[in-house]
A and B are shown apart, each in its own frame.
Chain A
Amino acid sequence: MSGVVTTTGQGLVVSGAEEHFNIVIVGHVDHGKSTLVGRLYAETGSLPEGKLEKVQAICRQQGKEFEYAFLFDAFLEEQEQGITIDTARTFFTWKGRQYIIIDAPGHKEFLKNMITGAARAEAALLVIDAWEGVKEQSKKHGYLLSLLGVRQFAVVVNKMDMVGYRQDVFAGIEKEYRAFLQQFGAVPERVIPVSAKFGDNIVYHSQAMPWYEGPTVLDLLSSFKKETASADQPLRFPVQDVYKFDVRRIIAGRLTAGRLRVGDSLLFSPSNKRANVKSIEAFNVEPPPMSAEAGQSIGITLDEQIFVERGEIATHPGNLPHVSTSFKANIFWLGKRPLERKRKYGLRIATKEVECEVVAIHRIIDTTDLNQQQDGTSVNRNQVAELTIRTKSPIAFDIASSFEATGRFVLVDEYDISGGGIVTEMVPDEQESLREEARRRDFSWVKGEVSVEDRAKQYGHRAAVVLFTGGRHTGKSLLARKLEGRLVAEGRHAYLLDGENLRRGLDADLSEEEKGLTAEMARRYGEVARLLIDTGLIVVSTTNPFGLAYREALEAIRTLVHPAPVIAVHVSKTAEEPPPDTDVVLSGPVDLDAAIKQVMEALKHRRVLDESLNAKPTPQYSI
C-alpha cells in the first residue's frame, strides 16, 4: 500500500488536497455499494478514530452482524431496513486527491436520490452482484449515467466470494453487461471482480482471484481523469441576475463554457442585444481580473446600458446558441404523478425559466431492453422517454452533445422538480425565418449614442406595442385611438400605427394578391413597429389589416419586435378563446373608460409604465 491517508468523512478531518474529485457509487439494491465504500474507507485508514469499533459494538448490542454499510447509512431507518435511502457525501484523500464519494441508493423507490447523486459526479462505479447478476437497476443506472453525462465509469462485480471467485461467472457478467452498454455507446474504463465483504481487489489485490491482473478499485480511482471545465469551447455565459447595489450595473452569472475577456463583444440570446465587456468585477481581488473561464461565477459590466435579463445566454458573435420554442429531448421522469401531454410544466434550462408543454411523446424507453419501444400518452415515475417540448416563449439553448450545461434542463410540476433531460435536437418553429431575420437585423443594427434605457428614463416609460386583436367590427380602432389619446394626455410618448397607412405607402408596390399574404404583410408591419419601438414609443395598433388572420399576425409581430413587450388586448362581441398570452380580454359590450383603465393596468403590470424608472436605487446593507 502506498500513499498517505490522513483523513476521513463522517465527522472527521479531510486533509488539504489540491484536487477534488466527485465519484458516485451506483447499482441495484443490495449489490453492496455501501459495503464497498465502507471497506474502502476502513482499509485506507480513512475512518474516524474509534468509529469502526463503535459501530461494531452497536451491532453486537443489537445482535446483528456488522456490515461496513452501517458506517455510512446514517439514518436510523436506513440501518434498521439495511438499505440506503439517500445519497451521502463522504470524503477521503488518497495520493493528493480528495475524493468526495457519493453513495447513491439502489432501491428503485429512491431513483431520484440516485440521480441527485449521479448528477454531481465526475466518475462512477457501477456495482453488480456476482451471485444475482445483471438486474433491472443495474441496467437503468447504466443508462442513466450516460443520460446524465457521466462518461467515466467502471463496473465493479461484487460478492465474488459468493460464486467461489470463479472466472467464468465474472466473464459471463462482463460480457452481458458490456453488450448492454454498447447499445448506447457507453464503454466502461474497467470491469473489476471484487469481494467488498472480504476486501478482495478493493485496496489489496485478491489472493483468491489470481486470474485477475487488472487494477484494484483504489488504483482505478487514481486513474480517473479530472475533466477540466470546457474552457476551450466557444463561450456560453447564462445571465443569472443583474445587480445594481451601487453605481455599477453588474451582470452576474457562471460561465458554463469558454472564456471571456475584458473588451470582448457579446451577443445576448434570445434578445439579440449586443455590447462589449467593460470590466470583470470581483470582491477582494487585486488587480481586477481581465479574463474568466468556464466554471467561474463572475460579474461583468458592459460599455452600454442595454436591458438584459436572467435566462439570456451571452456568447461571442461567431458562435450562437439555438433559439426556438421547440426541441426534442430525452428525459427521465421522477414526478409523483405521470408526465402528460398538454399539461403545463415549468422548464428550467441553465438560468432560464419558462412555461412549457409536452407536444409529443415519441416513445418510452425500456431501459432493461432498449430494443423495445412503447408508445405512450404519458410517462410514469422512473420512466425514460423521448419527447418534443414547446415553450411559451422563445428560449436560447444548445444540443447537449455539444454544450452540456446549456443543453440540459429540468421540468417542474407545481412546486417540484419532477424530471430532467437533455436536448437532442432543435425543432424549428413557424417563427424560425422571422426570428432569423430579426437576429441578422439586430446584430448589425447601427446604434446612435442614446441607449434604449436612456430613452426609457428620459420618457418615464419603456417602449412597447399595444396590439388590439379580434374579429371585424369589434371596436378595436376606436379603442386604439382612445388609448393613444389617453397616453399622450398623461405625458407619454405614444403613436397610433394604422395598418391602412402602410398599405397605401410602404406596401404600394405590392399587388393585390401579395397584399393578401398575411406573412409578408405582417413582416413589413413588424419591421415598421420595430423601428418605432427603437425611438422609445408606445406603439398602439390593431390587427385590422390582417382580417381574421390576427393570431398569425400577432405571433409574427411578437417575433419581430422581440424583446420589446407586445401587450395583446383581445376584443370580441361574445366570449371566445383569445390568442395565447393575451394580456387583457374584453368581450361583450365594452365600456370605453373601464377598458382603457384595464389596458393601463396591464402596461403597469408588464412594467412599460414603471415608477421605478426615475426612482433612486434602494439602499443596501454594506459591510
Chain B
Amino acid sequence: MKHLRRLEDQSVYILREAYKHFDNLAMLWSIGKDSTVLLWLVRKAFFGHVPFPLIHIDTSYKIPAMIEYRDRLAREWRLNLVVGQNKQALAAGMNYTMGRDVCCTALKTQALKDLIDEKGYTGIILGVRADEDSTRAKERYFSPRDKHGDWDFRDQPPELWDQFKTTFPPGTHIRIHPLLDWTEINIWEYIKIENIPFIDLYLDKGDGTRYRSLGCAPCTMPVKSTAKTVDDIIEELRATTVAERAGRAQDAGRGMEMLRKKGYM
C-alpha cells in the first residue's frame, strides 16, 4: 500500500503546483477510471474541494451509460462541468467511418482546442498514464502545447526534481499529467483502498464481458472477462498479457503518435 501512497503524494504535489501557477485551469474528465481517480486526487489535494471546472469532451458517440453517469455525478457532487462538442463537424455528419484518426481529431482534439480557445484555459489537467502507450511513455508531467495545440516531442522541456514548466508564452498552454507514473493496476488498487465510486461498465454483469478502457461506442470493444468486483479486476490484471487499450481502435499502427502530435489527449 505504501507504493500507492507515494504515487498519491506525487500526484497531489503536481496538482497543487498546477493550481498555484495557472490562473485559468481546468481538468479533463472522461468519466473513465483514470480521470475519476484523478478527480479523487484533486479532492485529496484540496481537502475535499474541486477548485476548477471539469471539462468533458462529448463526441456524441460515447457509450450512453457514460453520459448518464456523468450527469448524475455532476448533479450529486455539484461539479462545475463544462461540456465541449464540435457541433459543426457533427452537423456535417462526422463519424468514424470517415477514418478513425479523422474522426478522433475532429470530435475530440478539435473540440478540446475550440473549448480551450473559447475559455482561455492556460492549464489542462489530464489523466494520461505512461504505461498506456509508447508516446505517453515519453510525456512530461507539465507538457507545453503551442498556439495550435500541437505537441513538439522533439524539444520537450527539462523536468528536474519536481520543478516543472509553469511559465509559458501567451497563446500557448500546458498539459498537466499527474498520473504519469501510475499503471493500470495501480489505478484499480487505489480505487479499492480509497473506495472510489466508478462506472460499472468496467465490470462483468453476467454476459462474460466488460470494458477495460472506455471511449466512443463504435470504436471501443469490451473484453472477455468475468471480473465482477474490483478484486476480480486486480486478480485478472495480474495474469493478463493483453494490452489495456487493445479494445481501442485509434491505437492501431502509428495512430496514437500522429493523433497526439496534433494535440490529442
A residues near B (Cβ < 8 Å) are 6-20, 48-49, 72, 74-77, 85-91, 98, 100, 112-113, 115-116, 119-120, 240-241, 243, 245-246, 248, 250, 252, 254, 281-284, 295-297, 299, 310, 334, 346, 348, 405, 408-410, 412, 414-417, 420, 620-623
Say whether A240 contacts B240, CB under 8 Å.
Answer: no
**Complex: A85 Cα to B194 Cα, angstroms:** 38
Say whether B158 contacts A86, CB under 8 Å.
Answer: no
**A412-B167 in contact given A12-B241, A245-B51 (Cβ < 8 Å):** yes
**Complex: A89 Cα to B251 Cα, angstroms:** 18
25 residue pairs from A and B, CB less than 8 Å apart: A6-B238, A9-B131, A14-B186, A15-B238, A48-B242, A49-B242, A74-B135, A75-B257, A85-B154, A90-B131, A115-B158, A116-B156, A243-B46, A245-B46, A245-B49, A246-B48, A283-B44, A295-B9, A297-B10, A297-B45, A346-B167, A408-B161, A410-B161, A415-B165, A420-B161
Say whether A240 contacts B163, CB under 8 Å.
Answer: no
Give the residues in chain B near A115, CB-CB below 8 Å: 158, 160
Say whether A18 contacts B16, CB under 8 Å.
Answer: no
Give the residues in chain A near B52, CB-CB below 8 Å: 621
Say whether A12 contacts B244, CB under 8 Å.
Answer: yes
Distance in angstroms from A517 CB to nearest chain B CB is 43
Instruction: Return the contact of B165 from the options A74, A240, A417 (Cβ within 8 A).
Output: A417
Q: Which residue of chain A lies nearest to B21 when distances are taken between CB atoms in the complex?
A: A353
Listed from nearest, the 7 A-B pairs whose CB atoms lie closest are A74-B134, A623-B77, A14-B183, A297-B12, A11-B243, A112-B158, A89-B130
**Complex: A18 Cα to B17 Cα, angstroms:** 27
Distance in angstroms from A410 CB to nearest chain B CB is 4
**A14-B138 in contact given A113-B158, A119-B159 (Cβ < 8 Å):** no
Residue B168, interface by CB 8 Å: yes
Residue B185, interface by CB 8 Å: yes
Most chain B CB within a 10 A radius of its CB, from A7, A72, A348? A7
Give the residues in chain B near A297, CB-CB below 8 Å: 8-10, 12-13, 16, 45
**Complex: A90 Cα to B131 Cα, angstroms:** 7
Say whether B50 contacts A76, CB under 8 Å.
Answer: no
Residue B101, interface by CB 8 Å: no
**A620-B185 in contact given A14-B131, A416-B157 (Cβ < 8 Å):** no
Say whether A98 contacts B160, CB under 8 Å.
Answer: no
Most chain A CB within a 10 A radius of its CB, from B8, B159, B163? B163
Q: Which residue of chain A lies nearest to B164 when distances are taken between CB atoms in the complex?
A: A417
Distance in angstroms from B237 CB to nearest chain A CB is 5
Q: Which residue of chain B lies nearest to A409 when distances are taken between CB atoms in the complex?
A: B163
Instruction: Return the contact of B133 from the options A10, A13, A17 (Cβ within 8 A).
Output: A10
Q: Which residue of chain B lies nearest to A281 when distances are taken between CB atoms in the complex?
A: B47
**Complex: A297 Cα to B44 Cα, angstroms:** 10
B residues near A (Cβ < 8 Å) are 1-3, 5-10, 12-13, 16-17, 19-20, 39, 43-53, 77-80, 130-135, 137-138, 140, 153-154, 156-161, 163, 165, 167-169, 180-181, 183-186, 189, 194, 234, 237-246, 251, 254, 257
**Complex: A116 Cα to B138 Cα, angstroms:** 11
Say whether B156 contacts A86, CB under 8 Å.
Answer: yes
Give the residues in chain A near B241, CB-CB below 8 Å: 8, 12-13, 48-49
**Complex: A87 Cα to B135 Cα, angstroms:** 10
Most chain A CB within a 10 A radius of its CB, from B5, B169, B238? B238
**A20-B131 in contact given A115-B160, A405-B161, A623-B43 (Cβ < 8 Å):** no
Say whether A621 contacts B20, CB under 8 Å.
Answer: no
Say whether A10 contacts B79, CB under 8 Å.
Answer: no
**Complex: A8 Cα to B132 Cα, angstroms:** 11
Distance in angstroms from A398 CB to nearest chain B CB is 13
Q: Which residue of chain B lies nearest to A18 when distances are taken between CB atoms in the complex?
A: B3
**Complex: A502 Cα to B57 Cα, angstroms:** 68
**Complex: A310 Cα to B181 Cα, angstroms:** 26
Say whether B131 contacts A16, CB under 8 Å.
Answer: no
Give the residues in chain A near B160, CB-CB below 8 Å: 115-116, 119, 410, 417, 420
Instruction: Return the contact of B47 from the options A86, A250, A408, A412 (Cβ within 8 A).
Output: A250
Q: Which residue of chain A lies nearest to B165 when distances are taken between CB atoms in the complex?
A: A417
Q: Which residue of chain B lies nearest to A421 when distances are taken between CB atoms in the complex?
A: B160
**Complex: A13 Cα to B48 Cα, angstroms:** 31
Say whether B131 contacts A12, CB under 8 Å.
Answer: yes
Say whether B167 contacts A88, CB under 8 Å.
Answer: no
Give the residues in chain B near A15, CB-CB below 8 Å: 185, 237-238
Known contacts A12-B243, A297-B45, A420-B158; 12 additional CB pairs below 8 A are A11-B134, A11-B243, A12-B242, A15-B185, A74-B138, A87-B138, A89-B130, A246-B49, A248-B47, A283-B43, A297-B16, A623-B39
Give the residues in chain A near B251, CB-CB below 8 Å: 11
Say whether A86 contacts B78, CB under 8 Å.
Answer: no
**Complex: A414 Cα to B170 Cα, angstroms:** 12
Say whether A113 contacts B137, CB under 8 Å.
Answer: no
Say whether B184 contacts A13, CB under 8 Å.
Answer: yes
Instruction: Return the contact of A14 from the options B7, B47, B135, B185 (Cβ within 8 A).
Output: B185
Give the residues in chain A near B47, CB-CB below 8 Å: 243, 245-246, 248, 250, 281-283, 299
Give the residues in chain A near B189, CB-CB below 8 Å: 16
Give the residues in chain A near B240, CB-CB below 8 Å: 13
**Complex: A75 Cα to B240 Cα, angstroms:** 26
**Complex: A12 Cα to B243 Cα, angstroms:** 4
**Complex: A15 Cα to B168 Cα, angstroms:** 37
Q: Which residue of chain B lies nearest to A47 when distances are taken between CB atoms in the complex?
A: B241
Give the residues in chain B near A87, CB-CB below 8 Å: 138
Q: Which residue of chain B lies nearest to A346 when distances are taken between CB atoms in the complex?
A: B167
Give the residues in chain A near B167, CB-CB below 8 Å: 346, 412, 414-416
Say whether A91 contacts B131, CB under 8 Å.
Answer: yes
Q: Which residue of chain B lies nearest to A49 when distances are taken between CB atoms in the complex?
A: B241
Distance in angstroms from A283 CB to nearest chain B CB is 5
Say whether A241 contacts B20, CB under 8 Å.
Answer: yes
Say whether B154 contacts A89, CB under 8 Å.
Answer: no
Give the residues in chain A near B153, CB-CB below 8 Å: 75, 85-86
Give the residues in chain A near B1, CB-CB below 8 Å: 18
Give the residues in chain A near B239, CB-CB below 8 Å: 6
Give the residues in chain B near A299, CB-CB below 8 Å: 47
**Complex: A284 Cα to B57 Cα, angstroms:** 29
Distance in angstroms from A73 CB to nearest chain B CB is 8
Distance in angstroms from B252 CB to nearest chain A CB is 11
Instruction: Return the contact of A76 from the options B2, B185, B254 (Cβ within 8 A).
Output: B254
Say whether B157 contacts A417, CB under 8 Å.
Answer: yes
Say whether A116 contacts B243, CB under 8 Å.
Answer: no
Distance in angstroms from A70 CB to nearest chain B CB is 11
Instruction: Return the contact of B194 from the options A120, A284, A405 (Cβ within 8 A).
Output: A284
Instruction: Return the contact of B135 from the options A20, A75, A250, A405 (Cβ within 8 A).
Output: A75
**Complex: A250 Cα to B51 Cα, angstroms:** 15
Say whether B156 contacts A113, CB under 8 Å.
Answer: yes
Say whether B161 contacts A11, CB under 8 Å.
Answer: no
Instruction: Return the contact of A17 from the options B3, B45, B51 (Cβ within 8 A).
Output: B3
Give the residues in chain B near A420, CB-CB below 8 Å: 158, 160-161, 163
Distance in angstroms from A570 CB to nearest chain B CB is 29
Distance in angstroms from B61 CB to nearest chain A CB is 23
**Complex: A10 Cα to B183 Cα, angstroms:** 11
**Complex: A248 Cα to B47 Cα, angstroms:** 10
Say whether B137 contacts A76, CB under 8 Å.
Answer: no
Give the residues in chain A near B19, CB-CB below 8 Å: 241
Say whether B138 contacts A86, CB under 8 Å.
Answer: yes
Give the residues in chain A near B53, CB-CB below 8 Å: 621
Give the residues in chain A near B237, CB-CB below 8 Å: 13, 15-16
Give the residues in chain B near A623, CB-CB below 8 Å: 39, 43, 48-50, 77-79
Give the residues in chain B near A282, CB-CB below 8 Å: 44, 47
Give the residues in chain B near A116, CB-CB below 8 Å: 140, 156, 158-160
Q: Which residue of chain A lies nearest to B194 when distances are taken between CB atoms in the complex?
A: A284
Most chain B CB within a 10 A radius of its CB, from A9, A75, A346, A408? A75
Give the residues in chain B near A241, CB-CB below 8 Å: 16, 19-20
